[in-house]
Structure 1
Amino acid sequence: MTQPKFSIGDIVHHNRFDYRGVIVDVDPEYSGSEAWYEQVAQSRPPKGAPWYHVLVDGSMQSTYVAERHLEPGDSSQQIEHPSLGQFFDRFDGGRYHLRRQQ
């Protein structure tokens, strides 16, 4: 297994579809269905490498993205997404920090 390059709270840029987002979960390898992979993952990224759940900036969408399509994003600007508060409680000017469990 490959060590993930990104962590929860990191801001990333999708280098194929040109959007920013924030990582909310990391899978050490692909964990979706075979049907989804065949239908959606048209570039056939490796299943044995890390995949990320990402909230898309300026959208209500979240995506599931292979690591090879992500690069570090501009972390000086916050992400705008209605679900941010479900995952994070603060932004420190570089990354988001997970909400504390109460």
Structure 2
Amino acid sequence: MTDQATTTDPAMAAHAFRTAKFGIGAVVRHRIYPFRGVVFDVDPVFDNTEAWWQAIPEEVRPRKDQPFYHLLAENAETEYVAYVSEQNLVPDTSGEALRHAGIPEMFERDARGGYRMRDRSAN
């Protein structure tokens, strides 16, 4: 499924969106840095501040015209929220549970160990 971008950013309007490789609940690892996380939101193209993007060294700065993922992320020392380009993520096939404190609020684990969004309907 590819849709033409509808945006006020001329650079983005010139590119067609592509289907995100990872969906909500997918467990992923960064392809370079030692962290992993679960996807809780997806932007079809870059949607963070220009200052954030410029702070990334130019030689490793990702393209803006690709999906970007919001992760409940963790490494050996800490837990945090990460914003990562699709080009820098790979599937995490370890089967290890994530420990991030925000996971129980957003997700429940299914019988196979996958993460599924909790039903957020009002009681």
Same fold, judged at TM 0.5 (above): yes
Unaligned runs of 5+ in 1: none
Larger relative contact order (CA 8 Å, sep ≥ 6): 1
Q: Shift of the alpha carbon at 1:18?
A: 2.3
Matched residue, 1:51: 68
Q: What amino acid does structure 1 have at the position aligned with 2:74?
A: D
Matched residue, 2:6: none
Q: What amino acid does structure 2 have at the position aligned with 1:19?
A: F
Q: Shift of the alpha carbon at 1:41?
A: 6.1
3-state secondary structure, aligned to 1:40: coil
3-state secondary structure, aligned to 1:12: strand
Listed as ranges, the matches of 1:28-67 within 5 Å are 28-40=44-56, 42=58, 43-57=60-74, 59-67=78-86
Structure-2-length-normalised TM-score: 0.75
Superposed CA deviations along residues 58-100 of structure 1, whole A, max 9, x for unmatched, are 5321100000000010251111101002211224334200000
Unaligned runs of 5+ in 2: 1-16
Percent identical residues? 34
Bigger Rg, structure 1 or 2: 2
Name the structure with the higher strand share: 1
**RMSD of aligned alpha carbons:** 1.6
Structure-1-length-normalised TM-score: 0.89
Question: What is the count of residue pairs matched by the alignment?
Answer: 102
C-alpha spacing 1:66/1:16, structure 2 compared with 1 (3 Å): same
Residue 20 (str. 1) matches residue 36 (str. 2): yes
